[in-house]
Structure 1
Amino acid sequence: MSNLSETPPIQNLECVLREFLGSQLKIESMQWKHLVDPGENFGSLILALNLNVKENGKSENLNLIAKLPPKSEYLVDLFNSPMSFYKEIYFYKIIAPELIKFQIENGMKKSELIKLVPQFFGGRLGVKDGEKFDDQATIVLENLKVQGYDTEDRITGMDKEHMIFAIKQLARLHAIPICYKIKKPKAFKELIMPGLASIFNEATIRCVEDMINKAVNTLETMKEAQPYMEKVTKTIEYGASKIEEEPEEPWATLVHSDFWVNNMLFRHDKSGKIIDMKMVDLQLTQYENGCRDLIFLIMSSAKLKVIDESLDEMIDSYYSSFVDCFRTFDVDVKDFSREQFDKNLIESARRKLDQCLMMVQVIQATRGSARRVNDIKNKDNFLDMGRSKENDEKLIHIVETYARKGWLVG
């Protein structure tokens, strides 16, 4: 990483870091670069930072990432950046530490703690007023890539080993908040729920509808999709009709809502074995049934062959890890039967078909076809992603998988 003559697009970073690293912290030097390529992230600018800092006479080198809002007014509105940055800061600052504290309270040793997200180094909504959003909203996290973590390929998808590992971690993400809710209902309402509000606004809803329509229109041009189109339409309409319903208790929990390849990073040992995984982009967290995340993860992120050969095994792995986590916290699993889980899964699949279909155009977008974040000024710019053979194969595979499993309505 080399120093650039261009001024870093982040102001007064010291104030962000001081809350967590000490009030006397000074940044002695900074190197930075943009971290992700066009088409890999639209909701924020992501910078890799290499800092030399000094606090109370002690120097330290830090490898961090900083997330800032996109410089496009269209994208700020589309992603409801004031709300999404608030939510993600709230997650890292309040929810994640509270769930770690809960594990310790229940007897887990430091070496056993389930830490699913990167370390948080500070955040603000604005540079003039940390509680008022502006274009200097900032979230600072440890740079996982420097530690050997990396994402898998979004276009080819993940193999069975990576999928099972991710699914087990996802099950823990869902189970721990439920255990917390059962054991500490008042604290759950006061501390966890404020971070689970929806970020959807009118611009977001319109864009989602446009993306769904684009995916359906693509399917309608494909001969092999024709036998399923009536049921596909009915299933999407069914999901839309249920959007205002409250999630069923006691299954409702913290869900990621956007858990696909690019939002998880794996770490491997020298032999290639997976030894850890971290989740990122927590700005869409909601209070829903965890099966919603599971369905979207599988449909969006697994290789087609893995879905064909191991779908039931992946689902079984999720449920086993889910109930095992309950036992860790000495919570009775009688209200979380496999029979009800299977019903939840079908219902969640039907409500998630629209997201599974619409996100194909993002996940399978031809590399280099998407515009740079700062160049996206309107809907047409955003939706202008290259259609590919992989895009069409993924769309029809989702529909055929839904039909095979009986998840389509009608």
Structure 2
Amino acid sequence: RRQSFFDRPLYQGGFSVTEMSTVQKHLMEHKVTNLLKQILTNQKDGYTIEISNATKPGENWMGLMKSVIVNYQDDDNRKLYLIAKLAPHQDVYRKVFPIKIVYLREIYVYDYVIPEFLKLQEEKQLEQIFQPFARCYTISRAKGNEAIVMENLKMKGFVTGDHHTDVDYSHALLVVKELGRFHAMSYAIRDHKPKVYERFEQDCQETFFNSHMFTSVLTIFRNLGAAVLKSYDPVKDTRQIESLQKSLQKVPRVF
């Protein structure tokens, strides 16, 4: 398969490149290790940490995803499987994408929204608790070092989809149903805990379309589209070229 434009690193030498320099690799491992210390402080036995890439180039522009395995050196040889989501610190990313806002919003959901969703269900004594969330182990709000460490759901049978392949109907239906239940929880909070709902409403204002980021992202889409068009063969790929050109014209309206 010919390499897609979107399979290539967005910025050479940047945070998303998998072929990291030795210095970059050590810095990344240092960040992950410091985060893990927050959840392993009471671990009396020793442990080792394995860190590897959790995504391929082009699969995630909003940070670096790392797969982490904590090997406990105890009698049971336990293992803890985690995903560390690290925000890019480079200005070239942070000036274009609302990195800090995105990470703080996700942290807010783990810290406040999800606990309230679960608490309401427990108070109503529901037989089956709706909780389609990965467990969050620790977070960092530090500017330039925003991060979230959560459980690796692959250990529960989940798989990472191929963004080159369409989602089949059964999986799409499952996702839409779960999203429906998730949004229904907001209505339940509004009806049963209006003060909590008001707090969420105040804390979760729309931050993308009402910021300078919107124009920057539109520019990125246009530039990426232009680069993709140049990669096509003007004779063999006329159909793809026409289709992409029409799509690029619709970008401002779609957003």
Per-residue deviation at 1:155? 2.8
Which SS does the other structure have where 1:42 is aligned?
Answer: coil
Could you tell me whether the CA contact under 8 Å between 2:225 and 2:244 is conserved in 1?
no
2:28 match:
9
Q: Residue 111 of structure 2 aligns to which amino acid in structure 1?
A: K
1:170 match:
179
2:136 match:
120
Per-residue deviation at 1:197? 2.6
Q: How large is the Cα RMSD of the aligned pairs? A: 3.5
Could you tell me whether the CA contact under 8 Å between 1:123 and 1:140 is conserved in 2?
yes
Q: Residue 51 of structure 1 aligns to which amino acid in structure 2?
A: V
Which SS does the other structure have where 1:9 is aligned?
Answer: helix
Matches of 2:154 and 2:80, distance apart in 1: 13
Could you tell me whether the CA contact under 8 Å between 1:77 and 1:203 is conserved in 2?
no
Matches of 1:34 and 1:14, distance apart in 2: 15
Return closer, same or farther for 1:185/1:15 CA change in 2, 3 Å cut-off. Answer: farther
1:223 match:
none
Equivalent positions of 1:72-91 (< 5 A) are 72-91=90-109
Equivalent positions of 1:22-171 (< 5 A) are 23-25=41-43, 28-53=47-72, 60-109=78-127, 112-126=128-142, 133-134=143-144, 136-171=145-180
Per-residue deviation at 1:71? 4.3
Q: Residue 184 of structure 2 aligns to which amino acid in structure 1?
A: A
Q: Deviations over 1:278-327 (max 9, x none)?
A: xxxxxxxxxxxxxxxxxxxxxxxxxxxxxxxxxxxxxxxxxxxxxxxxxx
Which SS does the other structure have where 1:164 is aligned?
Answer: helix
Could you tell me whether the CA contact under 8 Å between 1:18 and 1:25 is conserved in 2?
no
Q: Residue 198 of structure 2 aligns to which amino acid in structure 1?
A: K
Matches of 2:241 and 2:164, distance apart in 1: 9
Matches of 1:174 and 1:193, distance apart in 2: 14
Per-residue deviation at 1:103? 1.1
Return closer, same or farther for 1:39/1:203 CA change in 2, 3 Å cut-off. Answer: farther
Could you tell me whether the CA contact under 8 Å between 1:124 and 1:138 is conserved in 2?
yes
Matches of 1:168 and 1:391, distance apart in 2: 36
Select which of 167, 178, 196 maps to 1:187.
196
2:10 match:
none
Name stretches of at least 5 consecutive residues in structure 1 with no aligned partner.
127-132, 215-379, 400-407
| Equivalent residues, number | 217
Matches of 1:160 and 1:59, distance apart in 2: 41
Matches of 1:30 and 1:59, distance apart in 2: 13
Q: Residue 144 of structure 1 aligns to which amino acid in structure 2?
A: L
Q: Deviations over 1:306-364 (max 9, x none)?
A: xxxxxxxxxxxxxxxxxxxxxxxxxxxxxxxxxxxxxxxxxxxxxxxxxxxxxxxxxxx
Per-residue deviation at 1:381? 6.8
Matches of 1:383 and 1:86, distance apart in 2: 32
Q: Residue 29 of structure 1 aligns to which amino acid in structure 2?
A: T
- Identity across aligned pairs (percent)? 22
Could you tell me whether the CA contact under 8 Å between 2:82 and 2:152 is conserved in 1?
yes
Which SS does the other structure have where 2:28 is aligned?
Answer: coil
Matches of 1:25 and 1:173, distance apart in 2: 35
The two structures have a TM-score, normalised by structure 1, of 0.46
Per-residue deviation at 1:171? 0.5
Which SS does the other structure have where 2:83 is aligned?
Answer: strand
Return closer, same or farther for 1:12/1:54 CA change in 2, 3 Å cut-off. Answer: farther
Matches of 1:146 and 1:44, distance apart in 2: 22
Per-residue deviation at 1:22? 6.3
Name stretches of at least 5 consecutive residues in structure 2 with no aligned partner.
1-21
Per-residue deviation at 1:159? 1.5
Per-residue deviation at 1:152? 2.9
Matches of 1:89 and 1:163, distance apart in 2: 26
Select which of 195, 208, 211 maps to 2:217.
208
Per-residue deviation at 1:142? 0.7
Q: Residue 118 of structure 2 aligns to which amino acid in structure 1?
A: I
Return closer, same or farther for 1:183/1:202 CA change in 2, 3 Å cut-off. Answer: closer
Q: Residue 49 of structure 2 aligns to which amino acid in structure 1?
A: M
Per-residue deviation at 1:394? 8.5
Return closer, same or farther for 1:117/1:384 CA change in 2, 3 Å cut-off. Answer: farther
Return closer, same or farther for 1:391/1:65 CA change in 2, 3 Å cut-off. Answer: farther
Return closer, same or farther for 1:54/1:184 CA change in 2, 3 Å cut-off. Answer: farther
Does residue 199 (structure 1) correspond to residue 207 (structure 2)? The answer is yes
Matches of 1:395 and 1:166, distance apart in 2: 31
Return closer, same or farther for 1:209/1:52 CA change in 2, 3 Å cut-off. Answer: same
Return closer, same or farther for 1:24/1:154 CA change in 2, 3 Å cut-off. Answer: same
Q: Residue 100 of structure 1 aligns to which amino acid in structure 2?
A: L
Q: Residue 148 of structure 1 aligns to which amino acid in structure 2?
A: G
- Runs of at least 4 residues of structure 1 off by over 3 A? 10-19, 57-60, 380-397
